[in-house]
Amino acid sequence: MSGRRPEHQAPPDIFYNEIEARKYTSNSRIIDIQVQMSERALELLCLPEDESCLLLDLGCGSGLSGSVLEENGHVWVGMDISQAMLNVAVERGVEGDLVLSDLGQGVPFRAGMFDGAISVSAIQWLCNCDKKDHNPVKRLGAFFSLLYTSLSRCARAVFQFYPESPSQVELITTQATKAGFYGGLVVDYPNSTKAKKYFLVLMTGQSVALPKALGAENEEESRVQYGKQRLTYKQMKGKSLKKSRDWILEKKERRKRQGLEVRANSKFTGRRRCGKL
């Protein structure tokens, strides 16, 4: 059971109860990882040097990432759905303003208020159906639409998250694009199983080149740019979308190498038949 992802065990406001909140904030390994990811997210915001900015911490939890923002001279507001986590943040004496709120209901702030936003290990929770009336598409749509409005023009939002599958990444990026964002994925240490980290970098202004990923031998493999187009499985993993023409051709080639008999290719190979999905 310990290997299960937290978002599969219970809704965030229930999973992060008083016991779990204190355990999370007292674990030195978790704290180190949280600080490292927060510092990297802040770096990817590309904020002006030596300038204090007003930032939004989405899924701020007990304020570990907010403390990183404070140490770098920024003012911040944190949102989280777990009252227990926010209680710990208050006990820790964080300087940011804290808001008890469900990200799936949107960002309740005035237009253009923030110079940027960060989020560490939170966005994937919106992909779940924790209640009967929860629709991940609608919740992500509401979240990104109001986040876009709350950010100043040419601001950025950076999300560190743990994608469960390419389809989950596509769900998130599609809703972000519909809300008006440009950007893409920056994958640090793409060739490492343990050190690999995904950062979704969103931009409210004109789309520009994504920052360089850390520990990447091939920059193109570690950055996935998107604009008004959907992110595909092939872009994420370098493989063809299942049941597409490329996927079928690759499968047939493998079967040929295995000495198996396959049908000859034609212009109809991989084409969707009438009445079939």
Does the residue 191 lie in any domain? yes
162 and 80 in one domain? yes
264 and 175 in one domain? no
Does the residue 131 lie in any domain? yes
pLDDT of 32 above 50:
yes
DSSP string, 237-252: HSSPPTTSHHHHHHHH
- Region 271-275 average pLDDT: 62
E strand spans, 50-192 = 54-58, 75-80, 97-100, 114-120, 151-161, 182-188
168 and 148 in one domain? yes
| CATH code of the domain covering residue 222 | 3.40.50.150
Predicted confidence band of residue 10 (pLDDT cuts 50, 70, 90): low
Does the residue 1 lie in any domain? no
188 and 112 in one domain? yes
The C-alpha atoms of residue 217 and residue 36 are separated, in whole angstroms, by 21
Give pLDDT, residue 180: 94
Does the residue 277 lie in any domain? yes
How many other C-beta atoms lie within 10 A of the C-beta of residue 61?
26
- Mean pLDDT, rounded, of the chain: 84
Domain count within the chain: 2
244 and 171 in one domain? no
Does the residue 82 lie in any domain? yes
Give pLDDT, residue 234: 45
268 and 164 in one domain? no
Q: Which of 149, 58, 65, 60 is closest to 104 using CA atoms?
A: 58
pLDDT of 132 above 90:
no
249 and 166 in one domain? no
226 and 244 in one domain? no
Instruction: Enumerate long-range contacts of 7-16, CB under 8 Å, 24 or more apart.
Output: 7/124, 7/125, 7/127, 7/128, 8/128, 11/128, 11/130, 11/131, 12/59, 12/81, 12/82, 12/125, 13/81, 13/82, 13/83, 15/82, 16/61, 16/82, 16/84, 16/85
Structural domain of 258: 240-277
Does the residue 43 lie in any domain? yes
Does the residue 157 lie in any domain? yes
Q: What is the DSSP letter of 32?
A: H
pLDDT of 192 above 60:
yes
213 and 117 in one domain? yes
Q: Which of 91, 114, 89, 112 is closest to 99 using CA atoms?
A: 89
196 and 169 in one domain? yes
Does the residue 223 lie in any domain? yes
Give pLDDT, residue 232: 45
pLDDT tens for 173-182 read 999 999 999 9
251 and 141 in one domain? no
What are the Cα distances from residue 18, in Å, to 1, 14, 32, 62, 125?
20, 9, 21, 11, 19
